[in-house]
């Protein structure tokens, strides 16, 4: 099964760190609980590429965005 194909049907959530001008990153948490990977995409390109990262890698991205240490 193609995880990217499943990600296109996922429920997407915009990052709370998104820019008010629409520079947004979205992720699909329900997909992660099923596959162990977190789909991430640019909200302006809903039909564009989806980056699939491990749950640990996604946690690192969130930590980096918050500006806190691992």
Buried b or exposed e, range 37-49, using 16+ CB within 10 angstroms: bbbbbebeeeeee
Question: By mean pLDDT, which of 15-19, 21-25, 64-68 is the weakest?
Answer: 15-19
Provide the 3-class DSSP secondary structure of residue 49: coil
Other CB atoms within a 10 A radius of the CB of residue 60 amount to: 13
At 36, is the pLDDT very low, low, confident or very high (cuts 50, 70, 90)? Answer: confident
Between residues 21 and 63, which one has the greater pLDDT? Answer: 63
What are the residue boundaries of the structural domains of the chain, listed by start? 3-15+23-66
Cα gap 13→19, rounded to integer Å: 14
Confidence of residue 22 (pLDDT cuts 50, 70, 90): low
Q: Do residues 32 and 54 lie in contact, with contact meaning Cβ atoms separated by under 8 Å?
A: no
| Mean predicted lDDT score pLDDT of the chain | 78
Q: What is the pLDDT of residues 44-66, one digit of tens each?
A: 888 889 899 999 999 998 888 78
């Amino acid at each position: 099964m193609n995880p990217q194909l499943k990600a296109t049907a996922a429920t997407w959530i915009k990052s709370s760190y998104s820019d008010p001008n629409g520079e947004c990153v979205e992720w699909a948490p329900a997909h992660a609980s099923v596959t162990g990977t977190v789909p991430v995409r640019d909200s302006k390109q809903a039909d564009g590429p989806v980056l699939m990262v491990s749950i640990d890698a996604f946690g690192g991205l969130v930590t980096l965005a918050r500006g806190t240490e691992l």
